[in-house]
Amino acid sequence: MKQIYLDNAATTKVDDKVLKSMLPYFTKRYGNASSQHLIGQEAKRALEESRHIIAKSIGAKDDEIIFTSGGTESNNLALKGLFFSHPEKNHIITSKIEHDSILNTCKWLETQGAKITYLDVDEKGFVNIKELEKAISSDTLIVSIIHGNNEIGVIQDIEEIGKICKERGVYFHTDACQSFTKVLINVKKQNLDLVTLNSHKIHGPKGVGALYVRKGIEITPLAHGGGHEKGLRSGTENIPGIVGFARAVKIANWKDVKKIKKIRDRLIKGILKISNTKLNGAEGEDRLCNNINICFNNIEGEAIGGYLDANGICSSTGSACSSNTLKTSHVLKAIGLSDIQTNTSIRLSLSRFNTNEEIDYVLKILNKIVRKLRRISPIK
Ligand X SMILES: Cc1ncc(COP(=O)(O)O)c(C=O)c1O
Give which of 278, 346, 277, 270 is closest to 313, Cα–Cα: 346
Catalytic annotation, pick one of 106, 289, 295, 321: 321
Distance in Å, CB of 306 to ligand X, minimum: 22
Is the Cβ of residue 260 or residue 373 nearer to ligand X in the bound state? 260
Min separation Cβ 146 and ligand X, Å: 6
What are the two backbone dihedrals, phi and then psi, of residue 120, each rounded to the nearest 5 degrees?
A: -70, 165
Is 106 a residue of the active site? no
CB of 333 to ligand X, least distance (A): 17
- Please answer whether residues 362 and 313 qualify as being in contact, where contact means their C-beta atoms are separated by less than 8 angstroms: yes
Closer to ligand X by Cβ: residue 174 or 341: 174
Binding residues for ligand X (CB under 6 A): 70-72, 75, 99, 101, 146, 150, 175, 177-178, 198, 200, 209, 321
Spell out a b/e string for 360-369, using b for 16 or more CB atoms within 10 Å of the CB, else e. ebbbebbeeb
Quick count: other Cβ atoms within 10 Å of Cβ 276? 12
Q: Least distance from C-beta 268 to ligand X, angstroms?
A: 20
Judged by CB, which is closer to ligand X: 175, or 229? Answer: 175
Closer Cβ to ligand X, 98 or 300, answer by number:
98
Contact 194, 214 (CB under 8 A): yes
68/191 with CB nearer ligand X: 68
Of the two residues 209 and 305, which places its CB atom closer to ligand X in the complex?
A: 209
We find the least distance from the C-beta atom of residue 178 to ligand X, in angstroms, to be: 5
> Closest Cα to residue 213, out of 237, 242, 233, 183?
233
Q: What is the DSSP string of 7-39?
A: BTTT--PPPHHHHHHHTHHHHTS---TT--SHH
Measured from the CB of residue 377, what is the shortest distance to ligand X in angstroms?
30
Determine whether 35 is exposed, middle or buried from the number of CB atoms within 10 Å of its CB (0-12, 13-18, 19+). middle
Distances (CA, A) of 198 to 12, 56, 113, 346: 12, 15, 29, 24
Q: Of all helices (H) and strands (E), which one includes residue 142?
A: strand 140-144
Cβ neighbours for 220, distance < 8 A, ≥ 6 positions apart: 80, 81, 84, 85
Cα of first residue to Cα of last residue in the chain, in angstroms, is: 34
182-192 core/surface letters (b: 16 or more CB in 10 A; e: else)? bbebebeebbb
Name the residue with the smallest CB distance to ligand X. Answer: 71
Q: Which residues are catalytic?
A: 321
